[in-house]
Structure 1
Amino acid sequence: MAGNPKPLTPLRYPGGKGAFAPFVKSVIETNHLKGGHYMEPFAGGAGVALDLLFNGYVSDIHINDADLAIYHFWHAIVTNTDDFLALLQQAPLTNY
C-alpha cells in the first residue's frame, strides 16, 4: 500500500501505521462508515487518524497513546496550540 507522499503528522514515528490509511479508508467505505468517529488507542504519530480526518473520511478523531511523552505531545497541541506553536518557532534548528 502506498502512503501519502507528504506526511500529515508532525511526528516521524518508528513503527508508524500511516501506510495503512488506504486500507482503513476501504474498510470505512465498504461498511458505509464515512463521516463517523475514528478512535486510535496507540496513536503514535497518528498518521492514519490524521489522513482520515484531513481527507474527510471521518468527522472526528480520538487518539491516545500508552507512551506518556506521546500522549503529552498530542495533548499540548490540542489544548495549548498557540503556546506550542510559539515554543516551536523559538526552537533552535540543528542537523541532528
Structure 2
Amino acid sequence: MKVMENQHSSRTKLFSEDKLLNECRSYFSSETEKTAEIGEKFIHYFLKNASPEGVLFKTIKDITTDINISHQTLTKVLKTLESKEIIYRRNGIIGLWKE
C-alpha cells in the first residue's frame, strides 16, 4: 500500500482502503466462507478504528468483544494477514505494513 496524500486534509493515509480490501478478499478466498467473512469484518473494523497512521491500539479481547467473533477465528485471521505481510502485531497494537 502506497502512501497517499488525502486531498481534503493534511493527514496522510498509509493505505488505499479499496486496495486493502481487495487484497484481503484474495488472501481469504482459499479459506472457509466463515473465515473469509470474519476477515473482511475485521478489515472494516480496522479501517474504522485505526489511527491515520494505520495503527490499531486494541487487544484481541477488545476486538472479539467489539465485533462479536471468537478468539480462535480472529487469531486465524490475524495470522493469515501477518503471513501475507498486510499487518504486524506488537505489544497490544496491530499495524499495517507499508509498501
Shared fold (TM-score greater than 0.5)? no
Rg larger in structure: 1
Query: TM-score range, shorter-chain basis?
Result: 0.3 to 0.5
Using CA pairs under 8 Å that are at least 6 residues apart, name the structure with larger relative contact order, 1 or 2: 2
More helix, by proportion: 2
* TM-score, normalised by the number of residues in structure 2: 0.33
